Amino acid sequence: MRGPEVLPHRSETSRTLVEVVLADVRSVVRKGLALVISREPDMELLFEASSAEEAVEAVGRLGRPNRTVVLVSLGLGGERDSLWLIRTLREQFPSVRILACGSGGEAATVSRALLSGADGYADKSCESERFLDAVRRTAAAETVLEGVPAGALGAIA
């Protein structure tokens, strides 16, 4: 197994407020989100991980994560899937903020992610500004439900 891709770290003088770890099995999605996040002056993408194991390893290498948000794709499958990742992060790194990310915002899927320990959900199909705002709000300890159909909120609650 290859380790998580370590991205170049910005200098301490340009330290950002929101540090992001991205876990998504799809390379093109990771690269697209990485590009969007890297353009934000108040965000820093620390790691890209293509599996749950890589994401846990990456967060473990951070030391004491401060305003770290882990973006967990709900498309991670297998024995160690996205829900396993969310539970493991919550148990091992309780100060890390977890934003589950998916497509469609199905109530049952979002509910399972939240019950597993995610701090919120953002739909990958929402506008990039709204997605980035969801990351910022998650870092600020808000519960975020971005891109969830209005009719699904009752079922999620």
Full DSSP string of 36-66 = HHHT-TTEEEEEEESSHHHHHHHHHTTSS-S
Phi, psi dihedrals of residue 47, rounded to the nearest 5°: -145, 150
pLDDT in tens, 43-83: 999 999 999 999 999 999 987 767 799 999 999 888 899 99
Residue 10 or residue 17, greater confidence? 17
How does strand 97-102 pair with strand 120-123? parallel
C-alpha distance across the termini of the chain, in Å: 38
Phi, psi dihedrals of residue 41, rounded to the nearest 5°: -70, -20
Predicted TM-score (pTM) of the model is 0.85
Least confident range of 4-8, 107-111, 149-153: 4-8
| Rounded distance between C-alpha atoms, residue 57 and residue 76, angstroms | 16
CB 6 within 8 A of CB 45: no
| pLDDT of res. 35 | 95
Per-residue pLDDT band at 156 (split at 50, 70, 90): low
Instruction: Quote the distance between the C-alpha of residue 5 and its chain's center.
Output: 16
Picking from 63, 114, 66, the residue whose alpha carbon sits closest to that of residue 90 is 114
